[in-house]
Amino acid sequence: MARLRQVDVSKTKDRIVLAARDLFWEHGYEATSLADVVEKANAKTGSLYYFFKTKEELLLAVLDWYMENLFPVLIQPIIAHISDPVERVFALLDGYRKALVATGCTYGCPIGNLTLELGDSLPRAREKLASNFEGWRTWVRKFLEEAGDRFPEKLDRAEVAMFVLTVMEGGVMQARAQQNLEPFDAGVRQLRTYFYLLSGERPKPQ
């Protein structure tokens, strides 16, 4: 019985974290109440406070979820279907484009959204937000490193990975503001051109 109860408790905790994840993304951190989370998770208030003493603790758990699921949700499917490491970078960006299309250009990167909303008001959360960005950049850097001598030896791949993240976040933000895909697509086109210039390869037709 103790083991079954432990599994049930774990599922309740998961439901709470996932409900908070969705609500923070849809409405923002400040606009989401713990009562909203309890209702969406189909849980009891006591269950929420059993796991999370404060709303900030719940936010930290959500940010941990994003870090833990970066590989299985975003990276692994790309690795499984695309062998070219450079094209993996663009496949990662294309995932965000698809989200913009599916939401009529209302999609915002959840980590970017929370970063803009929270600023430095919650230092522990800011550190986890930074770690999420670092995890994303680490995979892009890894893809660039796997490209080997297709890029100059002295190229700082960590800085290029940061540039790729800037293209993604800036493109998403501008696409949402203008309610069209062109800012995102323009950024990705220029990034691809930059990669071709670095590698000396002939650009593919767009």
What's the fold here for domain 57-199? Answer: Tetracycline Repressor; domain 2 (1.10.357)
pLDDT at 206: 53
pLDDT at 107: 87
> For residue 70, what are the contacts with CB-CB under 8 A and spacing of at least 6?
132, 135, 136, 139
Q: Looking at the chain, which residues constitute the CATH 1.10.10.60 domain(s)?
A: 1-53
How do the residues of the chain divide into helix, strand and coil, expressed in percent and rounded to 5? 80, 0, 20
Dump pLDDT digits (tens) for 113-142.
999 999 999 999 999 999 999 999 999 999
pLDDT at 205: 55
Query: How does pLDDT run along the chain (206 residues), one tens digit per residue?
Result: 333 333 344 699 999 999 999 999 999 999 999 999 999 999 999 999 999 999 999 999 999 999 999 999 999 999 999 999 999 999 999 999 999 999 999 988 999 999 999 999 999 999 999 999 999 999 999 999 999 999 999 999 999 999 999 999 999 999 999 999 999 999 999 999 999 999 887 655 55
CB-CB contact of 150 with 199 (8 Å): yes
CATH for the stretch 1-53 = 1.10.10.60
Q: Looking at the chain, which residues constitute the CATH 1.10.357.10 domain(s)?
A: 57-199
Look up residue 193 and give its two tokens.
């051109």
AA letter at 62? V
Look up residue 197 and give its two tokens.
């210039």
